[in-house]
Amino acid sequence: MNAFLVVVNIILSIAALVTVWFAWQAARSSAEAAALAKESISYVADTAKAAEQTAAESAVTAGLTKEVAANLEATLETARGTLKTAHESREADDREWRLKRLLDIAEISERIFWVSAEAEGYGSERLPEQNVLEQLIAGSGMDLPACRQLGQAHAVNRMQPARNAVREAEMRIGELIRERA
């Protein structure tokens, strides 16, 4: 029985050695796992910092984007105002130009009237003022039938067309002045 006990003790000693060896391997693996866990925590911390920086940069970018959008809105509004002002200025210039042309047409029409009233001897000759009147009407681009008729009238029947042309020009002048106000 001694031999049996010696064999059992040897087996138990070997089993104890194997258990120690496995415990040593487990401890070594556990140390490696702990090191990897620490390394993972470091990576997670780095990732969190990077995410934090990205979020901060995204917030700055969003703020800048909002600022740029607001500036673009203001620029667009300024451009609209400038366009409106330019359009109004153009309309005012156009009204002033038409008013000047109408004043010139009225002045020439009145001069034709007085020349015709004073000098009935022109016969069928055209007055030089009639040529000027026709040029003014053509250049104005306005529809002034009474003034156009005066430009084409002969001396014999120039008085009434001259009155009509003066009235027509004065009426259009009044319209432009009311439009300007």
Return d(Cα 95, Cα 107) in angstroms, integer: 18
CA atoms of 43 and 2, how far apart (whole Å) = 60
Average pLDDT for 85-94:
91
- The predicted-structure confidence for 135-166, as pLDDT tens digits, reads as follows 888 888 888 888 778 777 765 566 677 777 87
CB 116 within 8 A of CB 133: no
Residue 121 has pLDDT above 60, yes or no: no
Helices 145-152 and 159-180, packing angle to 10 deg: 150
Q: What is the pTM of this model?
A: 0.51
pLDDT at 30: 82
Is pLDDT of 124 > 60? no
Can you tell me the mean pLDDT for 1-17?
A: 83
